[in-house]
Chains A and B, each alone.
Chain A
């Protein structure tokens, strides 16, 4: 009996050792390589062109989920129980994610590439709150004024053109409530008596003045465009001659030999800026920081910028852009003087609290309602 027992014990020990030999290494490999990053992204932001090399060099796998709108990104981050590690949030979603507590601060000292960013993109107000960086800026695009040079000879240097009855029926404007900020920016510069300080922070009086300007503009609008392709077709066919647009659209029109020009008028312009944010519940921070360092590097920034007609935030991306596509650095304004970037007011979610302690500003749901009202006026 005794012998048998001892034999059993020996067998059990051997089995356990054998098991451990298989399991422990696989556990430690899993821990060092971090496994899979689950990401919510805009369509095309996880293109194989730059995701595959990352997976190879980092050992981290990427699993993407495409979101169709900023609101969808917010609701995915909220409802999925923390299963996503990262999200490529635009400026109209990032504050919602920060105040909702769905994302965590990022340590920029672990991302050397951050130091190469153009100054305004290091700590923009749509991803940095109280000095904490809730994510790292990715790419941006200005909303420029685009026009047909063969139809309009002297457009001037002001957004006044898109409110000028001279161009009735020849104007096309983005179909997006955030467009209210464009009109607010124009009023901020041309009507100081309204006291607008920030085009995304409007009290009732300022908001009503802006909405009434947009209702005037609506009479001049041929069509509200729904995407870059829609915009390009309208300008190309001659149905519209001018309107707020994106460098991507200008680039595609110039490539199609349509006589157009774009510029940022003297009042400045609005623009969008995307940020890779890190979920508050993410357990894959090792991989996330690897991704941050990779996606912020000049070469990858240039690749994504040229692929989607966006502007890299990394100041060193310019030569790489030109290598990928001649002249693209200039088209997408990747190497402009600082004053250019300073003249851009990037999208951010309008919230009731605009810093004066009164919480009397119009929030984004009011903006949405007003946009419907403007189009139905």
Chain B
């Protein structure tokens, strides 16, 4: 029997129909087909890169020839997690400590601004505030950090202003305090935005109900606003914490003699010492810290506020 043109149409339609029926009966397959490509991308680019990182941490680098020696060893991890020579643990600890301090500072600073933007400001003011919050992000990060160097240095704007009103020098330049100030400044927008999103979502009638039940301002804040804003705060803290944890430029430009963070050690090992395996082993540490942090954040419902 010859198949002519008129019967090709129904055959095609039939095939299409049976294909959609096939997927309808197997919903998991439909999801796979939909999410497959982006998922493959994520796995290949992101997870494979992480796996490669972890694996190269078990190798060593022959300094003299610069060659990577593919012999499995725990040496790098032993050096990172050594309790006899705590150099690298101390560097990690000071990095985590700084990231935590910056996160808390940003949360405290961001909350009133976000609250005002979300619940008090009129639309025009709100739009203006949005622009002001986002404006610094339009200029390069390195330029903003340099600007702080000019403000804080010995003959800088800060000391000049202090002299003007008869006060002594602040002596902030190239200290851990100066790094804390600059980190808090550069990451602040990343805290304001998720907190704003969380606060904006609180329905007005919750606050009215709270007032009807006799709660005053502080009680309402503690029992209604703060718990509902918490996921936003945690979401913002993921940004401020992880961005500080991975940064190496601010310590280089603003930090003093103590400014040696995880990022600087990794940078020096890759860029100067050419010891990529050790850098990889050390880079696993912040990955673990962030994984732990994300697990806690998930528990606190931060991902619902993103």
Complex-state Cα separation, A74 to B272, whole angstroms: 11
A208 at the interface (CB under 8 A from B): no
B274 and A72 within 8 A (CB): yes
Q: Does A237 lie within 8 Å of B155, measured CB to CB?
A: yes
Q: Give Cα A211–Cα B197 distance, bound, in whole angstroms.
A: 52
B265 within 8 A of A: yes
Given that A72-B274, A372-B87 are contacting pairs, would A363 and B64 also be in contact in the complex, using a CB cutoff of 8 Å? yes
Q: Does A376 contact B (CB under 8 A)?
A: yes
B77 to chain A, nearest CB (A): 15
Min CB gap A365→B, angstroms = 4
Q: Is the CB of B66 within 8 A of A74?
A: yes
Interface mask (A80-107 → B, CB under 8 Å = 1, otherwise 0): 0000000000000000100110000000
A176: which B residues are within 8 A, CB to CB?
Answer: 272
Q: Are the CB atoms of A375 and B274 closer together than 8 Å?
A: no
B8 within 8 A of A: no
Tell me if A96 and B65 are in contact (CB < 8 A).
yes
B154, CB-defined interface residue at 8 Å: yes
Q: Say yes or no: A372 contacts B274, CB within 8 Å.
A: no
Could you say which of B90, B155, B257 contacts A218, with CB atoms under 8 Å apart?
B257
Say which residue of B66, B88, B155 sits within 8 Å of A71 (CB atoms).
Answer: B66
Residues from chain B with Cβ under 8 Å of A239 in the complex: 153-154, 173-174
Q: Are B255 and A373 in contact (CB under 8 A)?
A: no
| Contact call B155/A222, Cβ cutoff below 8 A | no
Is there an interface contact between A364 and B85, defined as CB atoms closer than 8 Å?
no
Q: Is A223 interfacial (CB-CB < 8 Å)?
A: yes
Number of interface residues of A (CB under 8 A): 35
Please tell me if the beta carbons of A365 and B257 are within 8 angstroms of each other in the complex: no
| B residues near A349, Cβ cutoff 8 Å | 64
Instruction: Identify B272's interface contact among A222, A233, A368, A376, CB under 8 A.
Output: A368
Q: A72-B274, A238-B154 are in contact. Are A100 and B64 (CB under 8 A)?
A: yes
A178 to B258, CA, bound (A): 19
Indicate whether A192 reaches chain B with its CB closer than 8 angstroms: no
Give chain A interface residues in 235-280, CB to chain B under 8 Å.
237-239
- Report Cα–Cα, A221/B85, bound state, in Å: 23
**A368-B272, A376-B260 known; A223-B174 Cβ under 8 A:** yes
Do residues B66 and A375 form an inter-chain contact, with CB atoms below 8 A?
A: no
A78: CB under 8 A from chain B?
A: yes
Residue of A nearest to B252 (CB): A226
In contact, B91 and A363 (Cβ under 8 angstroms): no
Given contacts A373-B85, A376-B87, contact A365 B273 (CB under 8 A): yes
Indicate if B218 sits at the interface (CB-CB under 8 A): no
A375→B256 CA distance, assembly (Å): 10
Taking A71-B274, A75-B274 as contacts, is the C-beta distance between A372 and B66 under 8 angstroms?
Answer: no
Measured CA separation A373–B82 after assembly (Å)? 13
Q: Check A238/B275 contact, CB under 8 A, given A99-B64, A222-B257, A365-B63.
A: no
Interchain CB contact under 8 A, A368 and B275: yes
Cα of A226 to Cα of B153 in the assembled complex, Å: 16
**Is B156's beta carbon under 8 Å from chain A?**
yes
| Contact between chains at A238 and B155 (CB < 8 Å) | yes
A68 an interface residue at 8 Å Cβ cutoff?
Answer: yes
User: For the complex, is A295 an interface residue (Cβ under 8 Å from B)?
Assistant: no
- In whole angstroms, how far apart are the Cα atoms of A171 and B257 in the complex? 10
Which residues from B are CB-within-8-Å of A237? 153-156, 173
Given the complex, which residues of A lie within 8 Å of B87, measured CB to CB?
369, 372-373, 376
Chain A positions near chain B (C-beta within 8 angstroms): 68-72, 74-75, 78, 96, 99-100, 176-177, 218, 221-224, 226, 233-234, 237-239, 349, 351, 363-365, 368-369, 372-373, 375-376
Give me 11 A-to-B residue pairs in the complex whose CB atoms sit less than 8 angstroms apart, sorted by A's number: A69-B271, A96-B65, A96-B66, A99-B64, A222-B174, A223-B256, A239-B154, A239-B174, A351-B64, A368-B275, A375-B260
Which 4 residue pairs of A and B lie closest in terms of their CB atoms, listed nearest first?
A71-B274, A221-B257, A365-B63, A238-B154
